Amino acid sequence: MELREILEKFARGAITADEAQKEISIHSIEHVQGIAKLDVGRERRRGLPEIIFAERKEYADTIRIAEAAVRRNGQVVVSRVRKKDLAKLVSALKKKGLLVEVGRNSTTLLAKSKTHRRGISGTVGVMAAGTSDICIAEEARLVAEAMGCKVVTSYDVGIAGMHRTFPALKEMLASKAGAIVVVAGMEGALASVVASMVDVPVVGVPASVGYGFGADGIAALASMLQSCSLGLAVVNIDNGVGAGAFAASIAKSAKSR
């Protein structure tokens, strides 16, 4: 719909103010100094925050895009910052008056203005099989929190010590998690185990952790895709961002019903 058509429909009562605002947001693009085109209406339209994949971006460009995103939406997730740039980026964002949280063992961060507020809607559980998987799990946590979910985490609970898994699941189910993200490398079996024991959707994230054939996450990916446990969806290798967004969308949808 063109902008004029949206306004005309609203004027004659064919759509509500909320529907008109959602339609208008589809046309909301902010150009950042010839570098990027921010979809500034995405958060209102889909509930997803602006996420900057910084791995191959110039440091100066990452700063400009992050500033623009926070100015329009109050927050931004910056994922996969190059390690040499991380401390400098955090310092620069804090100097601009932003609150910055860096994921544990991670190069992904959540930056927001001090006045940004978002109500909590839904709960997501995030599990990591081993400590080497925490960096990916933290991506999922930060994205889910940016989407307004409470996140319950439990790390180093892989099936090499099965007894560690049960207290973690008990806590997540007691908190009424609407979805659980499970990050696992090696053979990736934790995702299947969790999906076999809970009555909520599970999002498996194969991690590029392991020896030999499994080192690039291929073994974990194949294992999760071949799982006989129903209720398990699988994202790409190391895609904590996608898993967090998907799980949060499920949890928020379940909470709203």
Q: Give the pLDDT confidence of 174-192 residue by residue, as tens digits.
A: 999 999 999 999 999 999 9
User: 28 or 126: which carries more pLDDT confidence?
Assistant: 126
Please report, to the nearest 10 degrees, the dihedral formed by the alpha carbons of residues 67, 72, 74, 80 taken in order: -50
pLDDT at 46: 63
Pairwise CA distance, residues 103 & 135, whole Å: 7
pLDDT of 44 > 80? The answer is no
Show me where the domains of the chain are located: 3-113, 123-255
Mean pLDDT of the chain: 87
pLDDT at 167: 92
d(CA 75, CA 113): 6
For 220, how many CA atoms within 13 A lie in the half-sphere containing its CB? 30
Distance CA(126)–CA(86), nearest Å, equals 24
Average pLDDT over residues 86-93: 94
- pLDDT tops 80 at residue 207: yes
Question: So what's the pLDDT on residue 248?
Answer: 95
Q: Six-digit token pair at 48?
A: 């997803």
The Cα 248–Cα 145 span in angstroms is 8
Q: pLDDT at residue 205 above 70? A: yes
Point out the least confidently predicted range of 15-19, 26-30, 203-207, 250-254. 26-30
Q: Compute the distance between CA of residue 59 and CA of residue 82 in angstroms, rounded to an integer.
A: 9
Q: Which residue has the higher pLDDT, 216 or 141?
A: 141
| Helix 3-11 vs helix 17-26: crossing angle, to nearest 10 | 180
* Phi then psi dihedrals of residue 167, to 5 deg: -60, -35
Of all residues in the chain, the percent with pLDDT exceeding 90 is 57
The pLDDT of residue 147: 92
Contact predicate 205/240, CB 8 Å: yes
Give the model's pLDDT for residue 160. Answer: 86
Compare 110 and 45 and report the one with higher pLDDT. Answer: 110
- Domain 123-255 falls in which CATH fold? Rossmann fold (3.40.50)
Provide the terminal-to-terminal Cα distance of the chain, rounded to the nearest Å.
29
Which range has the worst mean pLDDT, 8-22, 77-91, 188-202, 212-226? 8-22
Backbone angles phi, psi at 37, to 5 degrees: -120, 100
Q: Count CB atoms within 10 A of the CB of residue 255.
A: 15
Residue 128 corresponds to which tokens in the numbers above?
């990591």
pLDDT digits (tens, 9 = 90+) for 134-166: 999 999 999 999 999 999 999 999 888 888 999
Distance CA 75, CA 139 (A): 15
Q: Which two tokens stand for residue 59?
A: 């440091």
3-state secondary structure (DSSP) of residue 202: strand
The rounded distance, in Å, linking the Cα atoms of 80 and 109 is: 9
pTM of the model: 0.81
Residue 26 pLDDT greater than 80, yes or no: no
Cβ neighbours of residue 149 closer than 8 Å, sequence gap 6 or more: 120, 121, 122, 123, 124, 247, 248, 251, 252
For the segment 229-246, the average pLDDT, to the nearest whole number, is: 95
